[in-house]
């Protein structure tokens, strides 16, 4: 047995592997196994991993037919030797004391998992904070105390579901049979919410221990096809809240998931827009014909209610985009009218003078 199993998922990441794996190898805490999972990369990722394995006996390399992060992690995690699990994706860096600090926190608090602060970094190494990874509100509310889902349900949707800045008890995951559900790009979101719902104790560290590579902001031609998985994963998150009876006190999930789906629509490349639109429209039509429609409409913002109406009456993304354009043109026109009404008495006064 070892204390911590570090799982590093790799797919076509030869540009980022070196820094990531060296940040793990150079941890001040050394009782690790480092399991690198190559998901049938088409670049030099596997060769680089095998080179590192020759340098450090703690490194194990697994390579299999491409199956995505979910299946890759599930295939390996059941055979780990660690008491605790750290899951990373290539590109993420750890501060030298990260695993030591995370281990001390999870053991001192007897938590099921712990969360640390995380910064972004660009491809040039510049570090910067990103509000979407912030845990400051939870720390302000709970301090050093452990908490469960119900105690921070007012903040749960603010927490980033990424696996990278969390250390899990392997026993907790095993006892609750928590795995990555489905095989889509956003299964880690579902993994996070299920873990949080099932956990008795969670704790936070206010230290910035992880650096997340924001590689996509520097890739002009990034493939946004994976965004097609956003609506299905949103449905699974909603199903999870229903399954564990967490919906009643978390009505904000309606607005949160709707925003999530629409952000995906407005970001995805034009070639995929209609397919994406058809998916969300089908879901919303089904919702319209269900008993949940009143609750949904009561718990989304006015702007989202307008988007909902526009989606329902549109047959395709082209019609929806036209409605959006007309809607915004009307808003701008009304702004101009209001400015004119506001300025009218001043103009009249100037003419008199």
pLDDT at residue number 218: 44
Q: How far apart are CA 256 and CA 300, in angstroms?
A: 9
Say if CB 231 and CB 311 are below 8 A apart.
no
pLDDT at residue number 131: 80
Nearest CA to 18 among 40, 47, 48? 48
Say if CB 53 and CB 35 are below 8 A apart.
no
Say if CB 84 and CB 169 are below 8 A apart.
yes
The dihedrals phi and psi of 32, each to the nearest 5 degrees, come to: -130, 155
Q: Which CA distances in Å does 27 have to 34, 99, 103?
A: 11, 7, 12
Q: Which two tokens stand for residue 196?
A: 């949080």
pLDDT at residue number 329: 66
Say if CB 242 and CB 195 are below 8 A apart.
no
Burial classification of residue 167, based on how many CB atoms lie within 10 Å of its CB (0-12 exposed, 13-18 middle, 19 or more buried): buried
Burial classification of residue 320, based on how many CB atoms lie within 10 Å of its CB (0-12 exposed, 13-18 middle, 19 or more buried): buried
Q: What is the mean pLDDT of the chain?
A: 89
Q: How far apart are CA 218 and CA 20, in angstroms?
A: 18
pLDDT at residue number 345: 62
Question: What's 44's DSSP letter?
Answer: S
pLDDT at residue number 206: 92
Q: How far apart are CA 296 and CA 138, in angstroms?
A: 27
pLDDT, tens digit (0-9, with 9 covering 90-100), for 191-233 = 999 999 999 999 999 999 999 887 655 444 467 888 999 999 9
pLDDT at residue number 342: 57
Beta bridge partners, 211, equal 93, 119
Q: Where are the beta strands (DSSP E) in the chain?
A: 2-10, 32-38, 59-63, 82-89, 93-94, 113-121, 127-128, 166-169, 202-213
**For the chain, which residues score pLDDT lower than 50?**
218-221, 333
Nearest CA to 114 among 79, 147, 77? 147
| DSSP secondary structure, 178-240, as one string | ----SSSTTHHHHHHHHHHHH-S-EEEEEEEEEEEE-GGGG-TT---GGGGGHHHHHHHHHHH
Nearest CA to 266 among 321, 223, 212? 321
Q: How far apart are CA 203 and CA 146, in angstroms?
A: 5
Say if CB 68 and CB 39 are below 8 A apart.
yes
pLDDT at residue number 202: 98
pLDDT at residue number 328: 65
Question: What is the CATH architecture assignment of 2-218?
Answer: Alpha-Beta Complex (3.90)
Q: How far apart are CA 123 and CA 16, in angstroms?
A: 9
Burial classification of residue 276, based on how many CB atoms lie within 10 Å of its CB (0-12 exposed, 13-18 middle, 19 or more buried): buried
Q: Which two tokens stand for residue 203?
A: 């704790």
Domain extents in the chain: 2-218, 225-333
pLDDT, tens digit (0-9, with 9 covering 90-100), for 316-346 = 999 999 988 887 666 654 555 565 565 556 5
Residue 332 three-state SS = helix
How far from the centroid of its chain's Cα atoms is residue 311's Cα?
25
């Amino acid at each position: 047995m070892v204390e911590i199993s570090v799982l590093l998922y790799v797919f076509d990441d030869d540009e980022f592997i070196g820094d990531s794996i060296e940040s793990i190898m150079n941890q001040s805490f050394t009782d690790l196994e480092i399991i690198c999972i190559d998901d049938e990369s088409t670049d030099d990722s596997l060769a680089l991993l095998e080179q590192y394995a020759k340098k450090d006996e703690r490194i194990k390399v697994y390579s299999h037919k491409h199956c995505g992060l979910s299946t890759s992690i599930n295939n390996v995690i059941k055979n780990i030797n660690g008491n605790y699990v750290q899951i990373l994706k290539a590109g993420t860096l750890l501060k030298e004391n990260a695993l030591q600090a995370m281990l001390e926190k999870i053991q001192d608090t007897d938590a099921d998992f712990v969360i640390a602060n995380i910064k972004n970094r660009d491809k040039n190494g510049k570090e910067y904070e990103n509000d979407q990874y912030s845990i400051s509100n939870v720390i302000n509310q709970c301090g050093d105390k452990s908490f469960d889902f119900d105690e921070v349900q007012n903040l749960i949707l603010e927490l980033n579901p990424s696996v990278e800045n969390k250390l899990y008890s392997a026993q907790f995951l095993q006892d609750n049979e928590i795995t990555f559900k489905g095989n889509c790009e956003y299964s880690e979101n579902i993994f996070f919410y299920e873990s949080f719902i099932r956990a008795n104790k969670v704790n936070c560290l206010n230290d910035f221990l992880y650096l997340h590579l924001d590689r996509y902001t520097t890739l002009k031609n990034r493939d946004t096809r994976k965004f097609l998985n956003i609506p299905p994963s949103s449905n699974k998150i909603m199903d999870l809240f229903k399954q564990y009876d967490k919906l009643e006190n978390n009505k904000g999930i309606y607005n949160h998931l709707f925003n999530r789906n629409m952000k995906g629509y407005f970001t995805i490349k034009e070639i995929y827009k209609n397919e994406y639109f058809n998916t969300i429209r089908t879901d919303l039509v089904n919702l319209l014909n269900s008993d949940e429609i009143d609750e949904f409409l009561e718990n989304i913002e006015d702007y989202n209610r307008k988007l909902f109406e526009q989606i329902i009456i549109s047959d395709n993304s082209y019609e929806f985009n036209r409605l959006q354009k007309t809607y915004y043109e009307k808003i701008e026109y009304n702004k101009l009218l209001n400015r004119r009404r506001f300025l009218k008495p001043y103009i009249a006064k100037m003419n008199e003078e």
